[in-house]
Chains A and B, each alone.
Chain A
Amino acid sequence: MSYNYIELITLILLAIGCFFILSGSLGLIKLPDVFSRIHAAGLIDTLGSGFIVLALIIYSGFSLLSLKLLLIPIFLIFTSPVTGHAIALFAHESGHKPKGKNKK
């Protein structure tokens, strides 16, 4: 019975993670300019992958494997802001102006 309980939690967390990834992908298409689209990519990086890895940790139980899984979000936490910042800085330097008050 407790096995099913764990599966249920895993399922819910996976669904939440998938929802955030879907929202991020939608934002990547829908938002107006480069800078806004970076926000959507950041959403996928942090919350999407975070919830999915959390679900996998709960599913696999506590072992060496779950520690390895825990390393994935830790490295994402250090690397994803750097890539986001690099894209934003390059877009800024090459003269892209963020779209201002003119919301759709």
Chain B
Amino acid sequence: MAKPNKDSLKTLSFITYFIILFVFWFILSGYLKTLLLFFGVISVLFVFWMSYRAKALEEDSLPLKIILRLPFYWIWLFKQIFKSGVTTTALIWNGKYSPQLITVKASQKNRTGIANYANAITLTPGTVTIEVDKKIFLVHALSKKLSEDLQTDDMNKVITDLDK
């Protein structure tokens, strides 16, 4: 098997993007007639052309490697969201919150990874990323326990590993 070079990887990610867009179109429409499927392909090609023109298809923004790991990562993320959501709910009801600002370091290599980490922090209830300065985040946490959970660096490691 030939070593995958840059161009073939790019083609593969284009094909994956096309398939994702077409599946999305099909879920939204649900049509199975040939003519309508043809129109679907045309509209998908139009969206594809527009995202190509907007330079949204560079390799940094379409990482092919992580697509297979993404479902596992989402399941893990849902667990985290649920855990910290329960903590936040308890804090709201019993009123023992003590808001604080902390800084968190990110160890992701590319921009997609950093955005992913910042979004994951904001997505878990109880912590919000306020500012991203290169690789240091300013994070607002609702209580000491939630900020300590973040400072154990588990989430950072998981998201860094996603891109290996």
Contacts and interface: CB of A to CB of B under 8 A. Distances in A.
A98 B78 CA distance: 28
A39 B101 contact: no
Contacts of B138: 92
Interface in B88-135: 88-89, 92-93, 95-101, 118-120, 122-131
Nearest to A71: B27
A36 B98 CA distance: 10
Chain A interface extent, by class = 35 or more
B28 interface: yes
Contact of A30 (B30, B92, B100): B92
B142 interface: yes
A90 to B, nearest CB: 10
Interface string A43-77: 10011001000000000000010011001000001
How would you classify the secondary structure of chain A's contact residues: helix, strand, loop or mixed?
Answer: helix
Contacts, number: 106
B41 interface: no
A36 B97 contact: yes
Contact of B88 (A43, A50, A89): A43
Contacts of B78: 50
Given A23-B92, A39-B125, A89-B130, A100 B142 contact: no
A100 B123 contact: no
Given A39-B126, A42-B125, A46-B81, A92 B95 contact: no
Nearest to B78: A50
Contacts of A46: 81, 85, 123-125
Nearest to A102: B98
A26 B140 contact: no
A72 to B, nearest CB: 12
Contacts of B123: 42, 46, 77, 80-81
A92 B130 contact: yes
Contacts of B92: 23-24, 26-27, 30-31, 40, 43
Interface of A: 19-20, 23-24, 26-27, 30-33, 35-36, 38-40, 42-43, 46-47, 50, 64, 67-68, 71, 77-78, 80-82, 84-85, 88-89, 92, 98-101, 103-104
